[in-house]
Amino acid sequence: MLPQHLDCHPRHRAPKFAKSEGAIAEPPKDHRLPATLNHLDGRVNGTLVSFDMACALFAHAQHPKRTGYFKVPTCERVLTNIHCCSHMASARLFRVIVPVSSIEDATVFYSAVLEQPGIRVSPGRHYFGCGSAILACFDPRADGDGWDARPNPEYLYFAVDDLDEYYRRVSGQPNGSILRPIETQPWGERSFYCTDLFGNKLCFVDERTIFTGGLI
- Which domains does the chain show, CATH number per domain? 10-85 (no CATH), 95-206 (3.10.180.10)
Residue (of 53, 31, 27) closest to 40 by Cα position:
27
The overall pTM is greater than 0.75: no
Q: Is the pLDDT of residue 131 over 60?
A: yes
pLDDT band at 50 (very low <50, low <70, confident <90, very high): very low
Which percentage of the chain shows pLDDT scores above 90? 56
- What is d(CA 163, CA 206) in angstroms, rounded to the nearest whole number? 5
pLDDT of 186 strictly over 90: yes
Residue 160, strand partner residues: 206
What's the mean pLDDT in 198-215?
96
HSE-CB at 198 with a 13 A cutoff on CA atoms is: 23
| 169 pLDDT higher than 60 | yes
**210, pLDDT greater than 50:** yes
Given a cut of 50, whether residue 127 has pLDDT beyond it is yes
CB 204 within 8 A of CB 167: yes
- The pLDDT mean for the chain works out to 77
Reported as a pLDDT band with limits 50, 70 and 90, residue 21 is: low
Residue 89's pLDDT is what? 81
Q: Mean pLDDT throughout 16-35?
A: 50
Q: Which of 99, 172, 109, 181 is nearest to 140 (CA)?
A: 99
Mean pLDDT for 117-144 is 98
